[in-house]
Amino acid sequence: MEINLEWYRVFYWTAKTGSLSRAAERLHITQPAVSHTIKQLEGSCGGQLFFRTPKGVRLNAEGEVLFRYIQQAFNFVEIGERAIAEMHSLNRGEINIGASDTLCKHYLLPCLESFHQQYPDIRIRITNRTTPETIALLKEGKIDFGIVSLPASDKQIDFQPSSPIQDCLVGGKKFAALANSPLSLDSIHEYPLLILEPGGSTRNFIDSYAAAYGIKLTPEFELGSIDLLAQFAIRGFGLAFVIRNYVLDELNAGHLVEIPLSPPIPERNVGIATLRGVPLSAASKSFLTLLQSTFHRDE
Give the angle subtended at the CA of 84 by the CAs of 83 and 89, to the nearest 5°. 95
Residues 6+ apart with CB under 8 A from 7: 37, 40, 41, 44
Name the pLDDT band for 297 (thresholds 50, 70, 90). Answer: very low
Q: Which of 87-91, 163-167, 220-224, 247-251 has the lowest mean pLDDT?
A: 87-91
pLDDT (tens digit, 9 = 90+) per residue, 191-235? 999 999 998 899 999 999 999 999 999 999 999 999 999 999 999
Chain mean pLDDT for the chain: 91
pLDDT (tens digit, 9 = 90+) per residue, 120-167? 988 999 999 999 999 999 999 899 999 999 999 999 999 999 889 999
Say yes or no to pLDDT of 298 above 60: no
Bridge partner residues of 50 (DSSP): 59
Domains of the chain: 5-88 (1.10.10.10), 93-164+269-298 (3.40.190.10), 167-266 (3.40.190.10)
